[in-house]
């Protein structure tokens, strides 16, 4: 998703950012992350850490501003992670929600996190839901941003983005402006183009730009990225709190999906926000308010 347009100038200096990696078992991918420490220097012992997950073609950098602000407002430590095949995390031929959820489970185990809250947008949302259903003991609650536990086709735009990125790679572009000119044939929105081009970089000692993400791998995965690995809510449920943030101008959480959400997640709450699929960047303050209200300590 595009980077949140948030102003962080008012944040306390005590909010610190650290970049690290984790190392998990061979069956899992070690996830790159940024750590945003709670302003007090240590999270309230009653509150666990938060793991923030981006959407398809995104990275942890997209959630930098909102992570700082939520860490401040909730006094909780936040780990903004790169899911497999994104950002600085390793590439792997397998790209599905079960594998991504297992990576996050390994991350939680490696860091010995307890009472963890998951926040995920789009692809990250289905990853959060998958882990909550698969390993509910690892998850205290979660926030799903504009996605539902249903099988649905992802927007056709994503396939067009893959075509554009392949064309950019084949063109051996040396400047960002050259890549953007190609991308304009596939996407009119400048913020979305800028978001996609954050994946473009120039390897050391080379003139030709390349994409950090494995374009072919993600392109091949598109057909099942709209699927959800759990089909029968009668067999598995997550009985803890869950917040579903819906962009009212988006098609990813239709009204007919709400009963299914309720069966998988009987304690879910719904927050409607006047936005499209890119809820966090389009309506950052409304998103912040919804998340803080849901996650703030209850009296």
Residues 6+ apart with CB under 8 A from 177: none
Distance of CA 206 to the CA centre of its chain: 30
Q: Report how far residue 100's alpha carbon sits from residue 22's, in angstroms, rounded to the nearest whole number.
A: 15
Q: Report how far residue 184's alpha carbon sits from residue 180's, in angstroms, rounded to the nearest whole number.
A: 6
Residue 81 · residue 106 · CB < 8 Å: no
Residue 264 · residue 238 · CB < 8 Å: yes
Residues 6+ apart with CB under 8 A from 109: 24
Selecting among 54, 86, 95, 277, the annotated active-site residue is 277
Selecting among 122, 144, 250, 281, the annotated active-site residue is 122
For 161, the token pair is 């983005």
Active site residue 121: no
Residues 6+ apart with CB under 8 A from 25: 106
Q: Strands 268-273 and 139-145, how do they pair?
A: unpaired
Active site residue 277: yes
Half-sphere exposure of 85 (CA within 13 A, CB side): 21
Residue 174 · residue 207 · CB < 8 Å: yes
Return the DSSP state at 8: -
With CA atoms as reference, report the closest residue to 264 among 228, 225, 226, 296.
228
Can you tell me which residue has the tokens 């990250």? 124
Residue 115: burial class (beta carbons within 10 Å; 0-12, 13-18, 19+): middle
Q: Annotated catalytic sites, by residue?
A: 122, 277
């Amino acid at each position: 998703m595009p980077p949140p347009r948030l102003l962080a100038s008012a944040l306390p200096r005590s909010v610190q950012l650290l970049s690290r990696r984790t190392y998990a078992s061979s069956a899992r991918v070690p996830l790159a992350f940024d750590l945003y420490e709670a302003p007090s220097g240590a999270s309230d012992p009653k509150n666990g850490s938060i793991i923030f997950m981006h959407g398809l073609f995104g990275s942890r950098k997209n959630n930098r501003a909102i992570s700082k602000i939520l860490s401040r407002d909730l006094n909780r430590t936040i780990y903004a992670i790169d899911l497999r095949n994104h950002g600085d995390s390793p590439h792997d031929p397998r790209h599905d929600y079960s594998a991504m959820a297992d990576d996050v489970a390994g991350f939680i185990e490696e860091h010995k996190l307890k009472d963890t809250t998951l926040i995920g947008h789009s692809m990250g949302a289905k990853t959060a839901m998958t882990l909550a259903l698969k390993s509910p003991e690892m998850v205290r609650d979660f926030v799903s941003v504009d996605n539902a536990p249903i099988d649905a086709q992802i927007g056709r735009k994503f396939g067009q983005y893959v075509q554009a990125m392949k064309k950019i790679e084949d063109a051996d572009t040396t400047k960002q402006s050259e890549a953007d000119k190609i991308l304009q044939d596939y996407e009119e929105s400048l913020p979305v183009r800028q978001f996609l081009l954050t994946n473009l970089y120039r390897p050391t000692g080379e003139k030709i730009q390349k994409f950090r993400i494995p374009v072919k791998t993600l392109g091949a995965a598109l057909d099942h990225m709209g699927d959800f690995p759990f089909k029968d809510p009668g067999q598995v449920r997550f009985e803890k709190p869950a917040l579903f943030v819906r962009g009212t101008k988006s098609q990813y959480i239709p009204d007919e999906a709400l009963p299914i959400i309720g069966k998988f997640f009987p304690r879910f709450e719904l927050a409607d926000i006047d936005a499209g699929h890119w809820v966090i960047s389009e309506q950052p303050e409304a998103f912040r308010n919804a998340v803080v209200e849901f996650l703030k300590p209850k009296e």
